[in-house]
């Protein structure tokens, strides 16, 4: 199966690529399945309904068997860029599973919980384990990602759940 690690932030100076690469490294060590970074910023999506639909985005989402969302928290919510990316496709998301990785000054957990509700409307089932990174303890100067070694166990739990649910969803697509 092929999984997309979706970077939700498009902000100048964003830290999300560091978090995405960390998750990808842990996933690669399992030597099973493919994991690729899907960077929302690279797709330059118009605000939903204000321009031509970006067919490359829809095709990318369709071709993935499951997702890992890297979500940041702004003003107690998920980023507008990630919400727009979610709104910019429809059936392409359906009947897949997702893991949620969040970060922020409180672990980004409010953004993560909002994301679960949105995903359920797109027929994406989010797994229980949510690795949540804290800007004060898992980053240096709020910019350099340095998570403790103990965080890898939660990432692997999330991946275990994501892979088994994704196997199940394959049977109904």
Question: Residue 79's closest CA among 47, 109, 111?
Answer: 111
| 72, 126, 130, 166: residue in contact with ligand FMN (rule CB under 6 A) | 72
List the one residue from 54, 87, 106, 118 that touches ligand FMN (CB under 6 A).
106
Q: Which is nearer to ligand FMN, 11 or 90 (CB)?
A: 11
Q: Is 122 strand, coil or helix?
A: coil
Cβ proximity to ligand FMN, 2 vs 11, nearer residue: 11
16 counts as binding ligand FMN under rule CB under 6 A: yes
Of residues 105 and 120, the one with the C-beta less far from ligand FMN: 105
By CB under 6 A, tell whether 39 contacts ligand FMN.
Answer: no
Q: Which two tokens stand for residue 150?
A: 């103990």
104 contributes a contact to ligand FMN by CB under 6 A: yes
Burial of 110 (0-12, 13-18, 19+ CB in 10 A): middle
Residue 9 touching ligand FMN (CB under 6 A) = yes
For the chain, what is the radius of gyration of the CA atoms?
15
**61, 86, 91 from 142: Cα distances, Å:** 31, 27, 37
Out of 76, 90, 123, 146, the only residue in the binding site for ligand FMN (CB under 6 A) is 76
From CA 141, how far away is CA 54, in angstroms rounded? Answer: 36
Chain residues in the site for ligand FMN (CB under 6 A): 9, 11, 14-16, 72-76, 104-106, 108, 135
């Amino acid at each position: 199966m092929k999984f997309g690690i979706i970077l939700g932030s498009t902000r100048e100076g964003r830290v999300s690529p560091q978090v995405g690469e960390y998750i990808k490294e842990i996933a690669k060590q399992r030597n099973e399945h493919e994991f690729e970074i899907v960077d929302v910023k690279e797709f330059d999506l118009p605000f939903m309904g204000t321009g031509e639909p970006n067919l490359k985005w829809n095709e990318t989402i369709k071709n993935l068997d499951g997702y890992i969302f890297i979500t940041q928290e702004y003003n107690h919510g998920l980023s507008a860029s990630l919400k727009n990316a979610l709104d910019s496709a429809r059936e392409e998301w359906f009947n897949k599973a997702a893991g949620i990785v969040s970060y922020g000054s409180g672990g980004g957990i409010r953004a993560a919980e909002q994301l679960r509700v949105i995903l359920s409307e797109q027929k994406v089932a989010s797994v229980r384990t949510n690795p949540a990174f804290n800007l004060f303890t898992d980053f240096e100067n709020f910019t350099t990602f340095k998570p403790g070694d103990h965080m890898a166990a939660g990432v692997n739990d999330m991946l275990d759940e994501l892979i088994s649910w994704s196997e199940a969803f394959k049977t109904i697509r």
